Amino acid sequence: MILIADSGSTKTEWCLIDSNGKTKEFSTEGYNPCYMGADRLSEIVKPNLPKYFDTACVTTVAFYGAGVYEDKYSVIEQAIHPIFPNAQIDAAMDLIGSARSLLGRDNGFAAILGTGTNSCLYDGMKVTLNIDSLGFLLGDEGSGGYMGKRLIGDYIRGYMPADLREKFLDTYRLTNDELIERIYSNPMPNSYCASFTRFLTGEHAGHEYLEQHIIRDSFRDFFKNIVSRYPAYEQYSFNCVGSIGWIFRQALEEIAQEYHMQTGNIISSPMEGLIKYHYSPPAINDMISSSDNFAD
């Protein structure tokens, strides 16, 4: 059995795959080894495992996550190995997981556009080049945090069109001072700002100011400052995973076209691609009669 984890700072998606390819998905709270120790990951995993399956049968745990740098691999292994004693632990950054999901074992360009931004060139096995997004304070162009920051800034400065400014105040009921205070006092200001991207959808979707100034200009900044800095970037297709890229994929595809880049895969979650990457169906002659390892 194979266990795959796609972990963010707020939520972790898990998928168990048995020998016949049957899957069982579940979720837990997020985990970031930059801020939490091995004990905390164990506390998150143990009580949330699906019932009635033998943890000793898990042969591989592939854990992809934010903050899973090379010096944190041992933290993941310390937490996971006691729970799954017979498993090989494969820990890697979420960017590697995204590249494997989008490109499999082919080379190409892969990006993450969610709360934050990341991108790379990938050779089918590993990341060969990564231009630093610089994080929320200095960069993260094209991300939900970046869009939310622009939206809030325009609201406070009075640049937002009057009709939208009235709806924004109606929706959030926050003064300028309250908005600034909440951003600067929030332990995760990127996530807080990204939460305002909900204002870009629903009844406000299609408004020229939101479409052009917030969404498309944010994606243009992403291509100008990051994507176009990769050598010979135009020879690659644009592949992306993440909620922001998925929700605003039409605008994203248009901006990619402006930069002479063909669109490849744009998906909301890497899990389906990771299942394909890690699971190889057994030969027909090796198949045995099904016996469920998971409870329904």
Alpha helices (H) along 83-175 = 94-103, 135-138, 144-157, 162-172
Q: What is the mean pLDDT of the chain?
A: 87
d(CA 73, CA 65): 11
**Topology agreement, domain 2-101+272-286 and domain 103-269:** yes
The domain over range 2-101+272-286 is classified in CATH as 3.30.420.40: yes
Mean pLDDT on 65-76: 85
Residues facing residue 84 across a β-bridge: none
The amino acid sitting at 295 is A
CA 224 vs CA 134, 188, 230, 234, 256: distances in Å = 14, 26, 11, 13, 11
Phi, psi of 134 (to 5 degrees): 70, 0
Per-domain residue ranges of the chain: 2-101+272-286, 103-269
Q: Tokens 């030969």 appear where?
A: 283
pLDDT at 51: 76
pLDDT at 283: 44
Per-residue pLDDT band at 145 (split at 50, 70, 90)? very high
Task: Summarize pLDDT for 214-225 with one digit per residue, the tens.
Answer: 999 999 999 999
pLDDT at 228: 96
pLDDT at 41: 82
The domain over range 103-269 is classified in CATH as 3.30.420.40: yes
DSSP letters spanning 150-189: HHHHHHHHT-S-HHHHHHHHHHH---HHHHHHHHHH-S-H
d(CA 253, CA 250): 5
What whole-number percentage of the chain has pLDDT above 70? 93
Task: Summarize pLDDT for 273-292 with one digit per residue, the tens.
Answer: 999 998 876 543 333 333 34
pLDDT at 96: 94
Q: What pTM, to 2 d.p., does this model score?
A: 0.84
